Structure 1
Amino acid sequence: MTSQLKRTLTKRYGVLELWEIIVIALFAAFIVILVLSVWLSFRKKSKRSNATTLPVTQSPRFTEEIKEISVDHGSSNNNGTSYQTLDEKFVEDIENGDKFSGSLEKKPLVGSHLPPSTPSTTAPSPLLGLPEVSHIGWGHWFTLRDLQLATNHFSKESIIGDGGYGVVYHGTLTNKTPVAVKKLLNNPGQADKDFRVEVEAIGHVRHKNLVRLLGYCVEGTHRMLVYEYMNNGNLEQWLHGDMIHKGHLTWEARIKVLVGTAKALAYLHEAIEPKVVHRDIKSSNILMDDNFDAKLSDFGLAKLLGADSNYVSTRVMGTFGYVAPEYANSGLLNEKSDVYSYGVVLLEAITGRYPVDYARPKEEVHMVEWLKLMVQQKQFEEVVDKELEIKPTTSELKRALLTALRCVDPDADKRPKMSQVARMLESDEYPVMPREERRRRRNQNAETHRESTDTNKDNDITTDAKI
């Protein structure tokens, strides 16, 4: 039998014997397996690195800038196709959130006697344990079936919010991670590929004060976004009673939330290109984690729903009471409109009032106008939220009020940048106008006074001539 096997192995097939062919085939198979192993190992490592926060120095692709009115004429590269770092030190400070100045972290953040919040720790990835085949680098691609199971088939009991962009459901993934599933309004004119590209751009935008996008679903007519779930409510709920069972936000907590929101907006407006204009800043879009760190939601959704310049002018963007006055004239929103809306939210946090409240006396219906009148009359203490157990000091109150009033300036060009707003709120000094701006306003007032005087003189001369 041995001799028969030997004859079989030495049998020639062309120029090679059978045993030589077998050895070559085994060697080739070994090489293929080795190459596949290296490739799979590299692919898995690449996915793990991409699943973490994207460094600012990298440039995720963005097909097209969100259309907007250009306010800062000195900026360049508005038509770029990728996010780029503008100022490394500035971006680092904003993205890391800076250190919150003063002793706010040491003070209680709610007015009732609740256990102190636990210090933040590095949490495991919320996508851990999900099928690896569905990973998309920065997040996860979900099927419609995945999200139906997570939300109990989008039951009414799972609804936690709705608005101009769609309905939000609370859900639980198969790995027990709680999520918020935003079921977007359908935009029939948008192709699946375009939607995916824009979602990819949003997915790569990372900041400690922005709600993290975990993934998305595109299936049939369904367009859904999956976010990390914030279980500590939003600023509106804390200010207006829905979270009363947990107590009232202290002054320190309110300022902490507003500073975090300012830094998130500064990142969207100033630290990446093309900049992202939120277009719907309001207290209900400012979520909070257990440590009362702000988490701004709904950024980038205007672009996802096809909100180009013409679209914005035909479909109302923003929320009544928060939208800047120039919107009525142009029908378009820009980063200075975000600043105005932020100023309204800051005033809302100071006063505990809704931006528009028809249940109040006529002169108090519109919060911004009422507050300007109160400030002119130097009735600062009267505007503070009555629910605050410990009132802010006079200097703290004036600093917040002056910052807010600069944000809601009717002239968009006079509103500060959001990076300046964050510094104003953290500073121990009053937010004064730059010297050049003060000089310009003095000259403008002097010119107005001179014109008024000349007009009065002309009227006097005319009257004398008639006499």
Structure 2
Amino acid sequence: MASSLFIFFLSFLTHFLPFSVLSATVLEDLATLTPPPDFATTITTNCLHNPLLRYCNNNNTSSPQDIVEIFRSTIVASHLCNESKNPNCVDDDSFPKIRIHSRPKTAALYLSFDFFWKYCPLTVLEIQLVNNSLETEFPTNVLSCAQVRTIDLSYNKLSGSLPVHSLSRLTNLTRLNLSYNRFSISDSEFLKRFSATSFVHSGLLPDANRYKMKVLLIVFSIVVVILLCCCLGWLCLKRPDYLPRTCRRSNNKFTSAMIDAATDEFSDQRLVSKRDGVDIYRGTLRDGREAKIEVYTEKVSKEKRREFEEECEAVFLKVRHKNLVRVLGWCSSRNLKALVTEWTDGENVETWLSSSSLASSWRRRLRVVMGVVEGVSYLSEQWPEIIYDLDTSSVLLSGDGQEPLISQFKIGDGNNSSTNIFKFGLFLLEMITNLKPDEEQEDSEMRYLEYIRVHCPGNVERVIDEKMKIEKRTLEKVKEAVTLGLMCTDKPPLKQPSFTQIYDMVVSLHESSSRHH
């Protein structure tokens, strides 16, 4: 507005409407005020000097109604300029900012002046109506100031749909703050023009607290899923025995962690015995079953471990015989190779020979030998690749003492028939003499066998266990058994009988013993 008109209205308002007071009755005061007689001429003159004035663009400035609205908007504009404490209000027509903070009544009053916003001065570049508890919809009147660069309506109670279409027409708008209101929006694309700080708690973006809670829930869920996956992975890789049997990849494959747990980390209390290359433990499995765990102490290559696992899966799970301890599974890891079999509470044959009164009977001893022969015959025919240990300490008796159980065996090189026959011969001789080679002494087996050969057959009574009561009619059968044992241990192996021959001879001895009994 031209300075002459602006000064004119300031002097006019000084008489009719003091600047210090603009109460809620200003509407009534404005209604009684009329423009001076030369107001239209003054407007025309101003428009000639400054065509950019907004009311100069009005095609109906000659209308009496327009003249009155322009007059009233000029009064309001002058007061707003004064309210913003702009020092240029009197001396210049500069009016860059409308700033009403924390004055609810005044802000609501100015928003009600439709005619002011209709003729908003083109110099207004910033509108701030902050913290005024406005409870209306978005004040679309302010959008009439199309040149505005900043609109700040934060900390109010404005609600309703955001006039996106009208706001989009404000091409100069670079800063918009609608925070802490209750708006809604149908097209969120508009919001991308401004930063998220422009819409904090405005209803246009997700509530920060809710957003944080959702983020926390998502993060928590992800962490839980990761932990569950890690736990499940650990269970699958380390302790599959904690999983249901239907969920396990193999119910017969044991991990090193499972063996550690079953043996209390290979505690001395769990150690049963130590042999050449094998430590034997009594373990307790996850399901409560007792098991014998044979840990092979020799170091093997990765290829050997793979072969061992394949052989166990192909052989041991299929081996079933009443005179063989049942294989429960195996472990073949980088640091551990072990075979897990069922635990038998019965004593071993070595202890039985020394302590049981039943061992005094040749017939009972021969019955044990018969069970062992049936077991080794089954292995030699069906699984010749299996090597077994056949001394009196490794053959167990079932809980009722009726059946012997071969308890120690492993996969061999497939050419072990002679070795197995030799071991059976030693076992048979141990059953008769109740003596066994001293494993700690070198060549003890050879000296043991030589001792028996020296007394056989003429003085065989010297090597027969004194505890065993032999009748004269069965002495010849015992001699035959001793002879069979020596044949099995004879060198070279070409002189050894076959397992078929051994089986037939033991059956014959067993039947003869039954008849005499």
Task: Tell me the TM-score normalised to structure 1 length.
Answer: 0.50
Higher relative contact order (CA closer than 8 Å, sequence separation 6+): 1
Structure (1 or 2) with the larger CA radius of gyration = 2
